[in-house]
Structure 1
Amino acid sequence: MLRQTKLRRVLRAATTILVACFAGVNGGNAVIWLASLSLLVLGVVMVSLAMLLVVQQRRSPQSAAAWLLFILLLPYVAIPVFLALGFRKQSARFPPIRFGPMRQVMPTPQPVAKALLAFGIPAASDGNGLVLHFTPEVACAALFRTIAQAKIRLDITFYLLDDDASGRDFIEALIERALAGVAVRLILDRLGALHRPKAALGRLCAAGGEVRYFSPFLHRVGNGHLNLRNHRKMVVADLADVWAGGRNIGNAYLVKGQDWIDLSFNLQGPAVQSYVDMFSADWDVIGAAHGALIAQNAPVGTVTAQLVPSGPDTPDDALHDALVCAIHRAEHSVWLTTPYFLPTEALLQALGTAARRGVDVRIMLPQRSNQWVADLARGAYLRDLHAAGCGILRLRQGMLHAKAGMIDDMAWVGSVNFDVRSMLLNFESALMLYDAATVTALRDWFGAMEPRCAQGVVRSSLPRRFVEGVFRLGAPIL
């Protein structure tokens, strides 16, 4: 069987020939018959190659069936879409993260930590210091303090950087550090950075900072990673202090009174090494390798933590599969908060089964998010889970952008939404937390949010339910 990379090359070549045939059709009557025959033959070849690629990839049966049907019904539309969007794991393009050694490894990991370890995720570590940011003003102060205290290097990744006061202040802080001799490296996702402060970024580069854009729009036809966005959010200062979570850089995330609810944190200690490794992998992917970096961080606190990256640079779907396992194993409670809810079938089944087993399952999300498409897509899933006994909590006012969860005596917080794109496509990260004090703090925050929420699902009209069903059928193509 041909390797997938070879099949992609053949499919790209066939696409090029097909374009030439179209040109021949328009070039004169003498070649119309030959061009028509070529179009037919090439169409059959391209459909066959595309279908072979689909069934070779590691996908759910629903996803494979959806792609195959799309290619059969609309081949000249589906094949270009598949070439641009249809590839998930590309080891040649996104090699696995190389994790460095980490001190103070957790001696008796919990079941979730053990499962993640089996997927190649670094072990959970004791002795970390963690400060959660529940308000934008606390998060903003911690962010600028982390930057200002850097003496040697700042390694930064963000999906979105707004061209507003917060975004410009952020870049000004980086310029000040760069002029002071600090090595500043900034990764921005090309899609999320569409409305970036371009003039300020230019001055950062002039001051000695380096700015790189992840996954630009212009790719070769068969690169297949236009939809693989880097959604990670982190600032790593001097390989010792991490500011991370769900917040991007902008007024909505960092200014009080914006009606935007989010979570972030600062982390110190042995677990910082995994953030260093993750940034290094992202920086290497965009052609700017700087070698392995080892963070010599001694224990500084009592928090037990384990960073779990997900995306094309992880060979398996460790985060997704570990969460499925943890929900099935849950004995008491599963509490989730996410802005967008479009789960995989495995996660949907795990949540519904847990609720039917008597587990206290609660899902908190915004009444109306900033993405109307996501709101339409979630309806059918929420109705199914509500019928199974899950508690649905809808924040009445404001945008809930926090991404966190608590399952019995463990929790996580990070950049990953509870949807198929975050779990299986994007470059994401989640910090798993296993100590009682941190889990309790997140539970207390969740409990304080509940009075601000309406309970249950909203009654939907027949036309809306039809549209929601269409979205649900199309979800596996992602």
Structure 2
Amino acid sequence: MTWTGLAEWFPLHGLLSAIGLLVYTVGSHALHQRRHPSAAVGWVLALLLVPEAGLPLYLLFGTRKLPKAQVRHPARRAEADGAIAPRWAQQLTASMGLAPPAGYRALRVHRDGAEAAQALFEVIGAARERLDVCTFILGRDRFASELVDRLGQRAREGVQVRLIVDGVGALMGGRRDFSEVQAQGVQVVRFVPPFRSPLKWPLRGRTNLRNHRKLVVADGRWLWSGGRNLAGEYFMGESGRPAWVDLSFDLQGDVAAEAAAVFDADWRFALDPRQAAMGPAGAGPDGWPAAATVPPAAQLLPSGPDYADDTVHTLLVTSFHRARDRIVAVTPYLVPDESLLSALVMAARRGVTVDLVMPARSNHRLADIARNRPMRDLARAGARLWLSPQMIHAKAVVIDEHMALAGSVNLDSRSLFLNYELMTVFYAPEDIVRFSGWIDALAAGAARYEARPAGLARHVGEGLVLWLAFQL
């Protein structure tokens, strides 16, 4: 080979070596992201076979957790004094960096959208110093307009009002511009806008990580939370269409202070992605009544890229394996990963009553296709699946008489492994009965699902949807 040939070969060799090293590095990262095995294999194949497409797609959508420096590990004691939560649950959640159970008072589980709206407006009206609002979607309908007006009124009265809206959720709600909200004195940030400057927001795989949390906190002492986005269809219905069936609640006390701390961390991250450390719990002004629940009987359970562990998924899988009598849940979408599905199937096979309530047809066609396979597996194992004619958007799970979870988490892989989510765990027997009764009333108006054999074409179609839409 001539010197000229060598001169031409070395740059090409260096380029190919650099590409190979980059593919190897990113591929190793994909394998260590603790995702579904088929998803990990899919990403690696994409990186190897079509790196020109696989690399940018992985940088945009592949990362599941924040860098270690940004993952929260708050120092907490393992157990709360006098807590009635099972000891194993306290130890498990403490090992994942979560706060111990806390006290609260005046829990209200909202029966419908009208009651939820009334409670929401009460919380907004009660704030004296600060009002924190986090939502995935803020609509452009009459309900959302009234809500924005109320937030603006509180801001004009001297209350610090902060609003977080997810970047993708803002587009889904039809709000590309928040100037009219900000003009009323409300501080607004969009959580990871999808169309952002790469100089301000370095590509770290965050485009696929959405903030799905729903919470409103007044002065760190009164919390409104659940599954409802802040738009008309989640409360009263719009344009002649009935409201979706959803679940929300409000309470006062120390649990609300923990929610305020979660909001503070999300707010800092939305302003600057390099800031994600857990801040101190919010403290309300003097004059708020102290939490009346003794012993501590509820626990905030945030999950998402800001936690090293998949907190909700871990607690659910463990609880399902420990269940002895009954598991009852309501979810709009049922696309669990293999470990969660296996835990439910095993529970049903060993005689635990498993009741799952969901809409006969949801607002996401792909989710309805992907759920068929796990529904058949569960029905064959003896679980009872109930299909409601109404669109259900509620998310809650009750395990025996030990715990009830309610909040924003759907039983699908996106909620369990990708999104920023928020659930509250209730341990008081009387509260567990309230949530299980709410789900049972919903099941009473639903039809029981009967599994039918699926042909080859259907199996293939379901598998493709499940893999491409819910595992990668």
TM (normalized to structure 1)?
A: 0.86
Q: Which amino acid aligns with 1:261?
A: V
- Partners of 1:191 and 1:428 in 2: CA distance: 15
Aligned equivalent of 1:294: 282
Structure 1 residue matching 2:371: 3-state secondary structure = helix
Alignment match of 2:462 (pick from 458, 461, 468): 468
Deviation for aligned residue 1:51:
1.4
Q: Does the alignment pair 1:240 with 2:221?
A: yes
Aligned equivalent of 1:46: 22
Kindly report which structure 2 residues correspond to 1:94-113, keeping only aligned pairs within 5 A, or say none. 94-96=70-72, 98=74, 105-110=81-86, 111-113=88-90
Aligned equivalent of 1:81: 57
- Partners of 1:106 and 1:134 in 2: CA distance: 31
Kindly report which structure 2 residues correspond to 1:102-251, keeping only aligned pairs within 5 A, or say none. 105-110=81-86, 111-196=88-173, 201-217=178-194, 218=196, 220=198, 222-251=203-232
Structure 2 residue matching 1:394: 3-state secondary structure = strand
Alpha-carbon displacement from aligned partner over 1:407-452 (angstroms, at most 9, x marks no partner): 0011110001111111111000100011111111111112211232
Aligned equivalent of 2:269: 285
Aligned equivalent of 1:67: 43
Deviation for aligned residue 1:195:
4.9
Deviation for aligned residue 1:61:
3.5
**Aligned CA distance change for structure 1 residues 196 and 399 (closer, same or farther; 3 Å):** closer
Q: Which runs of 4+ in 1 moved over 6 A?
A: 31-39, 99-104, 288-291
Aligned equivalent of 1:352: 345
Deviation for aligned residue 1:105:
4.7
Aligned equivalent of 2:330: 337
- Partners of 2:158 and 2:76 in 1: CA distance: 26
- Partners of 2:55 and 2:471 in 1: CA distance: 13
Q: Does the alignment pair 1:406 with 2:398?
A: yes
Contact 1:308 1:429 (8 Å CA) reproduced: yes
- Partners of 1:291 and 1:468 in 2: CA distance: 43
Contact 1:105 1:125 (8 Å CA) reproduced: no
Deviation for aligned residue 1:323:
1.0
Q: Which amino acid aligns with 1:154?
A: L
Structure 2 residue matching 1:107: 3-state secondary structure = coil
- Partners of 1:195 and 1:90 in 2: CA distance: 25
Q: Which amino acid aligns with 1:286?
A: A
Q: Which amino acid aligns with 2:235?
A: L
Alpha-carbon displacement from aligned partner over 1:290-309 (angstroms, at most 9, x marks no partner): 96453257223467110100
Contact 1:106 1:123 (8 Å CA) reproduced: no
Alpha-carbon displacement from aligned partner over 1:141-166 (angstroms, at most 9, x marks no partner): 11111111212110110000111111
- Partners of 1:109 and 1:45 in 2: CA distance: 49
- Partners of 2:470 and 2:228 in 1: CA distance: 27
Q: Which amino acid aligns with 1:318?
A: T
Q: Any stretches of 5+ residues in structure 2 without a counterpart?
A: 1-6
Deviation for aligned residue 1:180:
0.6
**Aligned CA distance change for structure 1 residues 198 and 374 (closer, same or farther; 3 Å):** closer
Contact 1:324 1:350 (8 Å CA) reproduced: yes
- Partners of 1:65 and 1:156 in 2: CA distance: 39
Q: Which amino acid aligns with 1:113?
A: Q
**Aligned CA distance change for structure 1 residues 285 and 192 (closer, same or farther; 3 Å):** same
Structure 2 residue matching 1:194: 3-state secondary structure = helix
- Partners of 1:470 and 1:427 in 2: CA distance: 26
Q: Any stretches of 5+ residues in structure 1 without a counterpart?
A: 1-30
**Aligned CA distance change for structure 1 residues 73 and 454 (closer, same or farther; 3 Å):** farther
Q: Does the alignment pair 1:258 with 2:242?
A: yes
Structure 2 residue matching 1:308: 3-state secondary structure = strand
TM (normalized to structure 2)?
A: 0.87
- Partners of 2:136 and 2:77 in 1: CA distance: 28
Deviation for aligned residue 1:474:
3.6
Deviation for aligned residue 1:93:
7.3
Deviation for aligned residue 1:89:
1.1
Contact 1:307 1:430 (8 Å CA) reproduced: yes
Aligned equivalent of 2:361: 368
Percentage identity across paired residues of the two chains: 36
- Partners of 2:76 and 2:221 in 1: CA distance: 14
- Partners of 2:174 and 2:154 in 1: CA distance: 18
Deviation for aligned residue 1:351:
0.5
Deviation for aligned residue 1:223:
1.6
Deviation for aligned residue 1:128:
3.3
Q: Does the alignment pair 1:324 with 2:317?
A: yes
Alignment match of 1:427 (pick from 420, 423, 442): 420
**Aligned CA distance change for structure 1 residues 454 and 32 (closer, same or farther; 3 Å):** farther
Contact 2:219 2:282 (8 Å CA) reproduced: no
Deviation for aligned residue 1:471:
2.3
Alpha-carbon RMSD across the aligned residues, in angstroms, is: 2.8
Structure 2 residue matching 1:208: 3-state secondary structure = coil
Contact 2:357 2:387 (8 Å CA) reproduced: yes
Alpha-carbon displacement from aligned partner over 1:329-356 (angstroms, at most 9, x marks no partner): 0000111111111111110110111111
- Partners of 2:212 and 2:15 in 1: CA distance: 40
Q: Which amino acid aligns with 1:471?
A: V
User: Which region of structure 1 is more displaced relative to structure 2, 226-235 or 32-41?
Assistant: 32-41
**Aligned CA distance change for structure 1 residues 68 and 267 (closer, same or farther; 3 Å):** same
- Partners of 2:17 and 2:85 in 1: CA distance: 57
Alpha-carbon displacement from aligned partner over 1:134-190 (angstroms, at most 9, x marks no partner): 200000111111111212110110000111111111101101101111100000001
Deviation for aligned residue 1:102:
13
